[in-house]
């Protein structure tokens, strides 16, 4: 296939191995259903990322239509028995084809990016992964013909544009169709039926003002929208069909005080004055439906023009990830002296802060001012998904449970039409479309989890493996651009009624990836569920959530200058028509005053973990998600330290309390159900790494904490003491 040219049908004939002996004792390679071997090379040396000494293990490097895998000749050197947190689908030395970020070759000690057809083949292959692993393979001792085959095969199958139907997702689903078993304990709401949306409306008490509609059933109105969604009750259903779902306020969530969060995609830009007048009249009617002062007041947030751009996110992450794609120990220490300045210049943490701040601003409008908020975006499928999810996570304690969080992602991201296929660049068809919006969301969620651990039923390990699952093509969750695209390619919307629709796995069935013992690390043992009240207790009781959040702020009955009101209707319409106008919302000074008062007031009070939850967004409070970004760098680990050591001690105390409780119960002959046992994987914390469970007993580098490249500039001991703040170990990040 030509780079940037016409999309050609991928050819695999050149790289398919004609015979695979799967029963040989020498062949220790495990195949998933539908997986085929494409090419392989023997006598490959896999380097150990330690220091400049090139230590490694010999073995075979293989490439299938699912992954690249290294099979060591000495299995004991690769399989650490202490690695108890094992993924059943992806091994320690496996890289799914979708997880490959960049491929480099070393020619005469010079590192070059590899792509397309090669005239000369490298003596060393370096693979940078999207989960930030770095693999280095020495091909110096491999036969020349095998080097050509494996290098060409890996480049082709990871970088050439693909057709959707050629994804391994379909090969796996077809081969495993009769063996697919869903987890009966998975109660995630998928939002693929009208009943699911009605249930969500009832749960949030939004059914008084909003209704679930089936006007798009069969995707006959719009392929971008899900088959079922929720709109304001007064909105006629024929309005949805008018502009194929554009310009329609779609419900996201309702607050306990009656305010709601809505989103809307902009109408297509038109030059014809007659069409513009029709669109303006249409939007005027829509606006009157949702803005009915003093009962219904709407504030708009234009995320397309007054917030982040997708290009900013992509640029920041491209710089940020380079801090963690370390080829060797020497490179790590050489960059350590300027690590914090590089981190700041990437602007990734600043983008996280801006996202959290925007979510808090919207929360303040809904909670303190009792206003509806309408999020605007061109297609309402990127930043709308991000901000609406963060707002719900902060305001709705149900979304902080594991089932609630998974249901939130299903509702706002999967059914919300986030283009996972394009944003993750799974097909390699357009690099410009690749933007890590969902990863940015997970990083924002991690900041909340890190600052308020007891409020979440899931752990940071859960978030880390969820981010890894973006690149595992046996789950349908993150491999389609819309519900319509998924249903069409599964055979549900096809004309052939004879064929049976494919049954694709969802990522929420964690038993596919992890054994029950490993799954205990996904659940937070410190989380305490909200006690359920009986009807007698519930009567006359004011919700704790509401009491805590009724903060002494400015009056909710605002002057016409606050938000979008009658005299600003024309501005809203112009904005939705594609004529972007900056500073459409209330004055920045007033907004900042309301935000600061709301923010400071909440943080001055004790935290109700089952109520509103706001993050700290000051500079020092936002941190690097160490477990995800630093887990593959041995030098960044603290053996026997970090949060895992604290958690281990807490679990020991919990076990003691549980043991005492059981003894008390025995004395009273109480027949109570046994409680969940604390994860035994966390015992003996002195032997664990701070980046557990992804690193256990990795060897420490012999290099000092201070970077060697800066020794000459440090001066004498007195000067070193004065400048100690400039050199900080990564373990403190």
| Residue 530: band (very low, low, confident or very high) from pLDDT cuts 50, 70, 90 | confident
How high is the pLDDT of residue 52? 55
How high is the pLDDT of residue 20? 40
Residue 313 and residue 436 in contact, taking contact as beta carbons nearer than 8 Å: yes
How high is the pLDDT of residue 407? 98
- Please name the residue that has the structure tokens 């500079």: 619
How high is the pLDDT of residue 713? 43
**pLDDT, tens only, 432-472:** 999 999 999 999 999 999 999 999 999 999 999 999 999 99
Query: How do beta strands 67-72 and 56-64 pair?
Result: antiparallel
241 pairs with which residues across the strands? none
**pLDDT, tens only, 718-727:** 444 444 444 3
Distance (Å, whole) CA 285 – CA 576:
13
How high is the pLDDT of residue 600? 95
The answer, yes or no, to whether residue 701 has pLDDT greater than 50, is: no
The listed range with the strongest mean pLDDT (247-256, 285-294, 668-677) is 247-256
Residues 6+ apart with CB under 8 A from 656: none
Closest CA to 433 of 99, 161, 100: 161
How high is the pLDDT of residue 668? 77
Look at 230-239, 430-439, 449-458, 490-499 and tell me which has the smallest mean pLDDT: 490-499
The answer, yes or no, to whether residue 166 has pLDDT greater than 80, is: yes
Question: Rounded to two decimals, what is the model's pTM?
Answer: 0.85
Mean pLDDT of 73-91: 70
How high is the pLDDT of residue 591? 61
How high is the pLDDT of residue 498? 54
The answer, yes or no, to whether residue 18 has pLDDT greater than 80, is: no
Question: Quick one: tokens of 514?
Answer: 């992890």
Distance (Å, whole) CA 227 – CA 225:
7
DSSP secondary structure letters along 612-668: ------SGGG----HHHHSTT-GGG--BT-SHHHHHHHHHHHHHHHHHHHHHHHHHT
Distance (Å, whole) CA 658 – CA 457:
19
| Residue 733: band (very low, low, confident or very high) from pLDDT cuts 50, 70, 90 | very low
The answer, yes or no, to whether residue 310 has pLDDT greater than 90, is: yes
Closest CA to 375 of 354, 364, 391: 391
From the centroid of its chain, how far is CA 81?
30
Residue 147 and residue 121 in contact, taking contact as beta carbons nearer than 8 Å: yes
The listed range with the strongest mean pLDDT (3-17, 38-52, 74-88, 150-164) is 150-164
The listed range with the strongest mean pLDDT (469-473, 492-496, 594-598, 726-730) is 469-473
Q: In terms of C-beta density within 10 A (0-12 exposed, 13-18 middle, 19 or more buried), how is residue 286 classed?
A: buried
**124-129: strand order across its sheet:** 94-96, 67-72, 56-64, 37-47, 134-138, 124-129, 100-107, 110-113
| Residue 647: band (very low, low, confident or very high) from pLDDT cuts 50, 70, 90 | confident
How high is the pLDDT of residue 717? 44
- Please name the residue that has the structure tokens 């941190």: 623
Name all domains of the chain by residue range, CATH numbers in brackets. 37-160 (2.30.29.30), 194-491+501-522 (no CATH)
Distance (Å, whole) CA 507 – CA 420:
14
Mean pLDDT of 688-716: 54
Q: Assign 46 to helix, strand or coil.
A: strand
**pLDDT, tens only, 607-643:** 999 999 999 999 889 999 999 999 999 888 888 877 8
Mean pLDDT of 306-328: 95
Distance (Å, whole) CA 30 – CA 481:
31
Distance (Å, whole) CA 422 – CA 482:
11
Residue 287 and residue 280 in contact, taking contact as beta carbons nearer than 8 Å: no
Give 282 or 581, the one with higher predicted confidence: 282
How high is the pLDDT of residue 388? 98
Query: How do beta strands 94-96 and 67-72 pair?
Result: antiparallel
The listed range with the strongest mean pLDDT (476-490, 561-575, 589-603) is 476-490
Distance (Å, whole) CA 560 – CA 299:
11
How high is the pLDDT of residue 505? 95
Residue 424 and residue 401 in contact, taking contact as beta carbons nearer than 8 Å: no
The DSSP symbol for 413 reads I
């Amino acid at each position: 296939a030509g780079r940037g040219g016409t999309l050609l049908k991928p050819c695999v004939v050149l790289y398919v191995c004609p015979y695979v002996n799967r029963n040989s004792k020498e062949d220790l390679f495990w195949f998933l259903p539908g997986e085929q071997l494409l090419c392989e090379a023997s006598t490959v040396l896999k380097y150990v990322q330690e220091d400049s000494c090139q230590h490694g293990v010999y073995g075979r490097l293989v490439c299938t239509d699912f992954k690249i895998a290294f099979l060591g000749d000495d299995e004991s050197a690769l399989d650490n028995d202490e690695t108890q947190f094992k993924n059943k689908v992806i091994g320690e030395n496996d890289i799914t084809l979708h997880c490959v970020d960049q491929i480099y070759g070393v020619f005469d000690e010079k590192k070059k990016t590899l792509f397309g057809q090669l005239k000369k083949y490298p003596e060393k292959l370096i693979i940078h992964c999207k989960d930030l692993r770095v693999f280095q393979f020495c091909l110096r001792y491999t036969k020349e013909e095998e080097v050509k085959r494996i290098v060409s095969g890996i480049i082709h199958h990871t970088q050439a544009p693909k057709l959707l139907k050629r994804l391994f997702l379909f090969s796996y689903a077809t081969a495993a169709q009769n063996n697919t078993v869903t987890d009966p304990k998975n109660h995630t709401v998928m939002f693929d039926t009208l009943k699911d949306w009605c249930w969500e409306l009832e749960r949030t008490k939004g059914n008084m003002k909003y209704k679930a509609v089936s006007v798009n059933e069969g995707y006959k109105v719009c392929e971008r929208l899900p088959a079922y969604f929720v709109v304001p009750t007064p909105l006629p259903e024929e309005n949805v069909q008018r502009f194929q779902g554009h310009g329609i306020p779609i419900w996201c969530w309702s607050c306990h005080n009656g305010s709601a969060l809505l989103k809307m995609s902009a109408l297509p830009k038109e030059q014809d004055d007659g069409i513009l007048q029709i669109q303006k009249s249409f939007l005027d009617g829509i606006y009157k439906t949702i803005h009915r002062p003093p009962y219904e007041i709407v504030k708009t947030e234009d995320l397309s023009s007054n917030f982040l751009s997708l290009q900013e996110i992509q640029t920041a992450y491209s710089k940020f990830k380079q801090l963690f794609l370390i080829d060797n120990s020497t490179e790590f220490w050489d960059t350590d002296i300027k690590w914090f300045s590089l981190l700041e210049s990437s602007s990734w943490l600043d983008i996280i802060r801006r996202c959290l701040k925007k979510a808090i601003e919207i929360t303040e409008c809904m909670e303190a001012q009792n206003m509806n908020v309408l999020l605007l975006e061109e297609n309402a499928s990127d930043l709308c998904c991000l901000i609406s999810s963060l707002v719900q996570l902060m305001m709705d304690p149900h979304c902080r449970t594991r089932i609630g969080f998974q249901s939130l992602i299903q509702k706002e991201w999967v059914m919300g039409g986030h283009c996972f296929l394009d944003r993750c660049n799974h097909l390699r068809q357009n690099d410009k479309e690749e933007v890590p919006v969902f990863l940015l969301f997970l990083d924002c969620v991690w900041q909340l989890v890190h600052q308020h651990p007891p409020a979440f039923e899931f752990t940071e390990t859960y978030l880390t493996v969820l981010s890894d699952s973006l690149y595992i093509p046996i789950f349908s969750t993150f491999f389609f651009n819309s519900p319509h695209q998924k249903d069409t390619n599964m055979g549900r919307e096809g004309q052939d009624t004879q064929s049976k629709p494919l049954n694709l796995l969802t990522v929420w069935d964690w038993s596919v990836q992890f054994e029950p013992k490993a799954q205990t690390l996904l659940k937070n043992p410190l989380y305490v569920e909200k006690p359920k009240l009986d009807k007698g207790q519930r009567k006359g009781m004011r919700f704790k959530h509401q009491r805590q959040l009724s903060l002494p702020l400015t009056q909710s009955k605002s002057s016409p200058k606050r938000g979008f009101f009658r005299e600003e209707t024309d501005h809203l319409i112009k904005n939705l028509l594609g004529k972007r106008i900056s500073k459409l919302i209330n004055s920045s000074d007033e907004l900042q005053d309301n935000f600061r008062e709301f923010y400071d007031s909440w943080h001055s009070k004790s935290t109700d973990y089952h109520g509103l939850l706001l993050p700290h967004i000051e500079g020092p409070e936002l941190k690097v998600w160490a477990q995800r970004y630093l887990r593959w760098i041995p030098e960044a680990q603290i053996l026997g330290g970090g949060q895992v050591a604290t958690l281990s001690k807490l679990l020991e105390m919990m076990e003691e309390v549980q043991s005492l409780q059981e003894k008390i119960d025995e004395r009273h002959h109480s027949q109570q159900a046994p409680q969940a046992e604390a994860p035994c994987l966390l015992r003996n914390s002195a032997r664990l790494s701070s980046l557990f469970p992804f690193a256990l007993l990795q060897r420490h580098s012999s290099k000092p904490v201070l970077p060697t490249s800066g020794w000459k500039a440090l001066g004498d001991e007195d000067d070193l003491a004065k400048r100690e703040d400039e050199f900080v170990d990564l373990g403190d990040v």
